[in-house]
Amino acid sequence: METKVENATNILSKVTGTVFNKEGQQQLLITLDEPIIGYQLERYTNSKGELYGEFTLFDNRIITAQQRKKIHAILSDIVKSSGGGRNAYDIESIKEDMKLIFCKSKGIDEFSTSELTGDCTVTIASEFITFLLDFCLEYGVPLSDPPIELAEDLKHQLIKCLYKRKCAVCWQTGMVYPMNTTGAKKVQGRHELMCLCKDHYQEAESIGHKAFADKQHVSGILMNQEQFTKLKNKR
């Protein structure tokens, strides 16, 4: 339920406990950094005596070694694709340029991917990896590692592949095919789709869509009729 208020109070808090009630709803015990005065609570209570708030969880996890490895691998491939010569990029230079563009697009402060600084969370690192993969897909940067193994947001990448007509597995030029990776009954107006190159589509047809999805760690993307029509008209 959404409740709009003219003003809102933002207070830093810490979750100190969690339980589930009889209805199966999760309840959090929150300790506030500062108390909320009684009249402030009344100000935000609606005519039914209900009080709602928005709770935001901060990611306190620091970038993992695996994420740093992925970032380095993708940046290395970008450097390779830029060619040599006097003006050739090195990994650190391209990383700083990419971070600058990424931070500007997100409206966030610059960060270091070093574990020593502690200012790059798992979430930021994941979004940065997705940003780098989007760049590679957009500009045709060949990857040394399989894209699926590098992806942090798999659904995002599979959707990108659909619109770019790139194989979900290898990023070679592909076609959009109807798939059934879950075994669910087909519903009119709902389409499960995946972009695959000729070789991977033949493999999917040979071993079965679900077996193929399990083997390659991919899945079909469900679309309604409006989304499907938009995808078909994409050139």
Q: Which two tokens stand for residue 58?
A: 């901060």
The 3-state DSSP class for residue 77 equals helix
Whole-number pLDDT of residue 235: 65
Global pTM reads 0.77
Positive or negative, the CA dihedral 125, 128, 134, 137 is negative
* Amino acid, res. 142: P
Tens digits of pLDDT across the chain (235 residues)? 444 445 566 777 788 888 888 888 888 888 888 887 777 777 778 888 787 777 777 777 899 999 999 999 999 999 998 876 555 678 899 999 999 999 999 999 999 998 778 889 999 999 999 999 999 999 999 999 999 999 999 999 999 999 999 999 999 999 999 999 877 778 888 899 999 999 999 999 999 999 999 999 999 999 999 999 999 887 6
* pLDDT computed for residue 3 by the predictor: 45
Q: Is 176 helix (H, G, I), strand (E, B) or coil?
A: strand
Residue 150 in 3-state DSSP?
Answer: helix
In sequence order, the β-bridge partners of residue 18 are: 28
pLDDT at 2: 45
Say what the pLDDT of residue 178 is: 94
Question: Rounded distance, CA 153 to CA 219, Å?
Answer: 12
Decide: residue 95, CB within 10 A, 0-12 exposed, 13-18 middle, 19+ buried. buried
Per-residue DSSP letters for 185-234?
Answer: PP-TTEEEEEEE-HHHHHHHHHH-HHHHHHHHT--PEEEEHHHHHHHHT-
Q: Could you give the angle at the alpha carbon of 131 between the alpha carbons of 127 and 135, nearest 5°?
A: 170
The residues spanned by each domain of the chain are 65-150, 165-233
Furthest-apart CA atoms within the chain: distance in Å: 70
